[in-house]
Amino acid sequence: MSKHRVVLLPGDGIGPEVVGAARRVVEATGLGVEWVPMEMGVVAFEKYGDALPGDVLEEIRRCGVALKGPTTTPIGGGHASANVRLRKELGLFANVRPVKTVPGLERPYGATDLVIVRENTESLYAGLENEVAPGVVTSIKVITEVASRRIAHFAFEYATKWGRHRVTAVHKANIMKKADGLFLACARAEAVAYEGRVHFDDVLVDALAMKLVTNPSQYDVLLLENLYGDIVSDLAAGLIGGLGLAPGANYGLDCAVFEAIHGSAPDIAGKGIANPIAMILSAAMMCHHLGDTDAYVRIRKSVRTVTRDHPDALTPDLGGKGTTRSLADAIIVEVERRRSGSVDD
């Protein structure tokens, strides 16, 4: 059987540790993957003077799929974000981030089962910043009808495909009447075609922040612009126990790049204690995208078994004394048990 060619981008910081763990888990499922390892982020910048070399983009276009670790972006200066460039160059317009309560790690906020659908190409991430006079900087927020309709359509299609019942558009159209107003109008227009199948409503982003921490179960699919989507993703990850648990995927028309929500976590990089679950669940989403729903289900069930039954294997962010390796090993044991048919769940 021919193998799926997948570009493997370990990134930097904790990236190589968690991507290595995710790779081992995918291999344990038996899914035939030919990895194409490439460099991106600080490592690439130091070697080639470019955090996103052109051959990486070409290879992802060729393969259509990449599994990517986080990459560091310097704050307030230095090279532009390779992540933002990657998403723009490849037309990865939809960022999907499922955030679901993990058994054994229930938090005081209540059951959470959200999917964040974030527009990935514009808004304040357009990178249009100017110092118009000394001490005066403008940053332009770009919202277009084309991109807003496209992401709203994606959110409703996603909801339909995954049996979700509600899409909530998140905005600040009371203040940014034109920009957020357009985003909301596009979502409303798209909702019409799904009436009777997917309920549509909207919420101000500040109100959403409060409502999420008081009762996250009231939301289902959240549809957001780029910056709001990024901020709300981290908040939502906090509701279920932290960034180490929240996976993600970036979809375009021709390519998909799978990566966790979290960054390169320089504070714990190289210590072997990074939580690999977010990356492993991102890899599970990749298996689904590649057509192996069985591997997808097996990985997800294996993660849940480990978080519920093996607290000893968990990494310190989850209150355990385990390591990246011990946690990945425990998940691999479960994946293999399910592969051999010795677990019936």
Which residues are catalytic, by number? 125, 172, 206, 230
Residue type, 42: V
Nearest approach in angstroms of CB 41 to ligand NAD is 7
Binding track over 213-252 against ligand NAD, x by CB under 6 A: ------------------------------xx--------
Q: Pick from 190, 259, 292, 334 the residue near ligand NAD by CB under 6 A.
A: 259
Q: Which residues contact 196 (CB under 8 A, 6 or more apart)?
A: none
- Taking CB under 6 A as the binding criterion, the range among 23-31, 48-56, 116-124, 255-263 that sits at the site for ligand NAD is 255-263
Distance of CA 104 to the CA centre of its chain: 22
* Residue 70 interacting with ligand NAD (CB under 6 A): yes
Handedness of CA 112, 117, 120, 124 (dihedral sign): negative
User: Across-strand partners of 136?
Assistant: 133
The pair phi, psi for residue 309, each rounded to 5°, is -110, -15
Cα separation of 342 and 285, whole Å?
Answer: 24
Nearest approach in angstroms of CB 205 to ligand NAD is 19
E-only strand ranges, 244-322: 249-251, 256-258
Cα separation of 71 and 265, whole Å?
Answer: 9
* Residue 99 interacting with ligand NAD (CB under 6 A): no
Nearest approach in angstroms of CB 43 to ligand NAD is 13
How many of the chain's residues bind ligand NAD (CB under 6 A)?
21
* Residue 195 interacting with ligand NAD (CB under 6 A): no
Q: Residue with CB nearest ligand NAD? A: 263
Q: Which two tokens stand for residue 122?
A: 């514009």
Binding track over 260-279 against ligand NAD, x by CB under 6 A: --xxxxxxx-----xx--x-
Cα separation of 137 and 42, whole Å?
Answer: 27
* Residue 25 interacting with ligand NAD (CB under 6 A): no
Angle at 323 between CA 283 and CA 308, to 5 degrees: 70
Nearer to ligand NAD (CB atom), residue 18 or residue 255: 18
Nearer to ligand NAD (CB atom), residue 98 or residue 263: 263
Cα separation of 279 and 16, whole Å?
Answer: 11
Residues that bind ligand NAD (CB under 6 A): 14, 18, 70-73, 83, 243-244, 259, 262-268, 274-275, 278, 317
